[in-house]
Structure 1
């Protein structure tokens, strides 16, 4: 019996580490999820257990290669961004994998921005707000200042997707989706590394840039298969949409952060947009994508807990609540400031929470809609399954078609699609994404 050709994707989130096998029709034929206990860095701050992650890659692959009915054609990676692995000449990590939420020293931050033109001007060039450790280039700057011995013995600083690729290919490379994503390393006004990268001696610590659709031979034992460079997860999640839709659209990718991507907005970021948490990501073809961020998933989680505690209801109940357009809503505001005693019941409170979040989303998404011919918004992730949120979004964007998009594992699929021609002889399927259209009758508007 002929073996099924597959691509292996490692999809590494902060919480869940997933392994997928996709066949040539992009159906998931095997998946596994693992969680690792965090460890701490030398300051006692929580961080990823890099050794557990490394070992799990090799252990998983040994298992995959024992499967008799499949043939591995390629392997690729998508992981969270803003995380760097510093390797020495032998490829061994020199430090823990520092958490991107680690507090950044204020004097060091001021020293950096003062030297390189001030926060406002620098943010316009780097297409990113000032985010401390979340600007991963700042982690490199810090390492050079605080631990010059480690910096000197470092061969390369690899973003996490490229470190994982390096484990199997033995080739160190940089990838534009990681370098171009709120790192402070890339100058979007010149489309090249920012001048500070060269002036501070950082450039030689960055591996050569390699296109995201290029592959390398494997050094890990097995058959003749290709290794991708790895991708930043936010950019990877956009790929299935870019290959499926060509008319202008916005994707709102919802999770802890709700990020609105507009691949059809080519206007440079303004200082005002940066102040409102807009930034640029990079497509896997190296094209800037204007995006805006909202911390709505986190806020939803906190407020649902508050509602369920106050009304003594299980938090899970709110996952499947029906939308009731007859519930009166108060003018939009910050739900955290509202008194729960003002609501007759938990359903009314929850509708108000979703309305407050949807109005914030309207503003956030509006920042990247402006000046473009976008006629469709696709919502994926957790909120796409929330009928109250989806109906309210449709109500707030009456001129734009609103769709809930469902697709199994967009991030992992994006990493597979990025190197499609190198492993898959079949043409791209045209049913990768399922859409559900939301239309709202205007008489249901609460204002």
Structure 2
């Protein structure tokens, strides 16, 4: 008998994956691929949309041909802030521009001067000024730099919806992509911002559909349910939302450490925007207040520096265990190295503390590494604290790399003694969230209670396996 499954295509910047989840949300099959970037017309690196399109089609056909699985549903999660511009025939008419592509300063100034100034605009759209990372600005740029190309575009689809279109043939927009620092969404009015109408951009945006919508599509002679796709940050939150009813905050750690509070619906303040706060949108249309810290990148750079100075392997930090006495000594010593701490603790906190420290002042790699994590956690406390205001949150979950770091976790538990702090582990949370978002359409079973593995850390610096 065939196993009923949901297929999820998960597109990351580096890894492209396809998963099959059974009705208990266990991964029964995984495929992955990588391919080189290409360049756009300016020579800037970008995703090769032709290779991506081929990979999606070929990978899906491979799993559809497997006799042991009955693919009931298909959904998608991808990185955000990226648009695929398709023409009347549904094929891309432009490169898939990288969200790190430099943005013209004069055009940016023109935009914000026209639409109320930076401070008020960023507050209304919950979108810090991020250039091409504000994906709506890509369409604005096309209007003024390449109007003849803009005229050829039928729809500018966010990447999750483009990948969904490849399977369903449906042109849609999704609120988890529109509502994520795009400059498109007015959070005050819960609608597209006025500039979208005034610049006649709306016609280039496909109709908006709910994040849990599915369409029935005949694929390889069988009717299958196809979702519309989700932005990865919003998708990764779903396993937590379906597992826990009590208010919580999630720190999703990777290159960025993003603190997400789905239970804080207060409007962003100017100060929060300065500290790199923003809003994500859940698939159910509710905003999630979030703050970002570039801590994973800082950790990567500084552990390379430590390895070089102390003549250790770059991943030597993985062998360092938590030493409470060492932390107390570092705190008591208050090594400053002439660092302007007041400046570094103010917005936008893009600079790490540890990079300014003199490594010759440390007795060992272990001592220096404890100081690095202490510095990172001190900034994390400020960043996470911004999304905790005016919300009754008693639990904090940490997933990703820092959730596996005992020094980070123990320091975080000590910093928030009135909260329950958990290291959380979810296998492929982004893909799992995409499957869970359409659970009611394809799955005949109840949601399993063990989607997330938890490890509890208390402020006394020990952990208890859950």
Given the two structures, how large is their TM-score scaled by the length of structure 2?
0.93
Task: Provide the secondary structure at the position in 2 that maps to 1:8.
Answer: strand
Is 2:135 the counterpart of 1:162? no
Task: Provide the secondary structure at the position in 1 that maps to 2:325.
Answer: coil
Residue 384 of structure 2 corresponds to: 365
Is 2:108 the counterpart of 1:121? no
In 2: Cα distance, 1:257 partner to 1:119 partner: 24
Residue 415 of structure 1 corresponds to: 434
Following superposition, the deviation at residue 441 of structure 1 comes to: 2.2
Following superposition, the deviation at residue 266 of structure 1 comes to: 1.3
Residue 349 of structure 1 corresponds to: 368
In 2: Cα distance, 1:32 partner to 1:329 partner: 46
Is this contact kept in 2: 1:72–1:223, CA < 8 A?
A: no
Task: Provide the secondary structure at the position in 1 that maps to 2:255.
Answer: coil
Residue 304 of structure 1 corresponds to: 303
Is this contact kept in 2: 1:168–1:219, CA < 8 A?
A: no
Following superposition, the deviation at residue 316 of structure 1 comes to: 1.8
Greater Cα shift, 221-230 or 122-131? 221-230
Task: Provide the secondary structure at the position in 1 that maps to 2:182.
Answer: coil
Q: Show structure 1 runs of 5+ residues with no match.
A: none
Residue 191 of structure 1 corresponds to: 190
Is this contact kept in 1: 2:218–2:224, CA < 8 A?
A: no
Decide whether aligned partners of structure 1 residues 389 and 69 sit closer, same or farther in structure 2, where only a CA change above 3 A counts: same
Task: Provide the secondary structure at the position in 1 that maps to 2:57.
Answer: helix
In 1: Cα distance, 2:400 partner to 2:460 partner: 25
Is this contact kept in 2: 1:320–1:386, CA < 8 A?
A: no
Residue 16 of structure 2 corresponds to: 17
Decide whether aligned partners of structure 1 residues 94 and 220 sit closer, same or farther in structure 2, where only a CA change above 3 A counts: farther
Residue 411 of structure 2 corresponds to: 392
Decide whether aligned partners of structure 1 residues 361 and 222 sit closer, same or farther in structure 2, where only a CA change above 3 A counts: farther
Is this contact kept in 1: 2:11–2:78, CA < 8 A?
A: yes
In 1: Cα distance, 2:200 partner to 2:267 partner: 28
Decide whether aligned partners of structure 1 residues 150 and 28 sit closer, same or farther in structure 2, where only a CA change above 3 A counts: same
Task: Provide the secondary structure at the position in 2 that maps to 1:225.
Answer: strand
In 2: Cα distance, 1:387 partner to 1:30 partner: 31
In 2: Cα distance, 1:10 partner to 1:382 partner: 23
- CA deviations 1:352-406 (Å, max 9, x no partner) are 1111111111100000001211111000111111111111111111111110001
Residue 141 of structure 1 corresponds to: 140
Following superposition, the deviation at residue 315 of structure 1 comes to: 1.5
Is 2:267 the counterpart of 1:248? no
In 1: Cα distance, 2:364 partner to 2:18 partner: 42
- CA deviations 1:52-95 (Å, max 9, x no partner) are 11111111111101211100001111000000000000001011
Is this contact kept in 2: 1:65–1:222, CA < 8 A?
A: no
Is 2:130 the counterpart of 1:111? no
Task: Provide the secondary structure at the position in 1 that maps to 2:209.
Answer: coil
Following superposition, the deviation at residue 36 of structure 1 comes to: 1.2
Task: Provide the secondary structure at the position in 2 that maps to 1:326.
Answer: helix
Is this contact kept in 1: 2:324–2:461, CA < 8 A?
A: no
In 2: Cα distance, 1:88 partner to 1:97 partner: 14
In 1: Cα distance, 2:404 partner to 2:279 partner: 27
Q: RMSD in angstroms over aligned alpha carbons?
A: 1.3
Residue 33 of structure 1 corresponds to: 32
In 2: Cα distance, 1:306 partner to 1:133 partner: 31
In 1: Cα distance, 2:160 partner to 2:221 partner: 21
Residue 200 of structure 1 corresponds to: 199
Following superposition, the deviation at residue 320 of structure 1 comes to: 3.8
Is 2:403 the counterpart of 1:402? no
Alignment map for 1:36-435 (pairs within 5 Å): 36-218=35-217, 220-327=219-326, 328-330=329-331, 331=334, 334-435=353-454
Is this contact kept in 2: 1:405–1:436, CA < 8 A?
A: yes
Task: Provide the secondary structure at the position in 2 that maps to 1:198.
Answer: helix
In 1: Cα distance, 2:195 partner to 2:318 partner: 47
Is this contact kept in 2: 1:265–1:372, CA < 8 A?
A: yes
Given the two structures, how large is their TM-score scaled by the length of structure 1?
0.97
In 2: Cα distance, 1:397 partner to 1:161 partner: 36
In 1: Cα distance, 2:420 partner to 2:131 partner: 37
In 1: Cα distance, 2:70 partner to 2:316 partner: 43
Is this contact kept in 2: 1:280–1:288, CA < 8 A?
A: yes
Residue 348 of structure 2 corresponds to: none
- CA deviations 1:10-55 (Å, max 9, x no partner) are 1111111111110000000011221111110011100011111111
Count residues with an aligned counterpart.
442
In 1: Cα distance, 2:160 partner to 2:291 partner: 23
In 1: Cα distance, 2:380 partner to 2:152 partner: 45
Is this contact kept in 1: 2:49–2:96, CA < 8 A?
A: yes
Q: Show structure 2 runs of 5+ residues with no match.
A: 342-352
In 1: Cα distance, 2:39 partner to 2:217 partner: 32
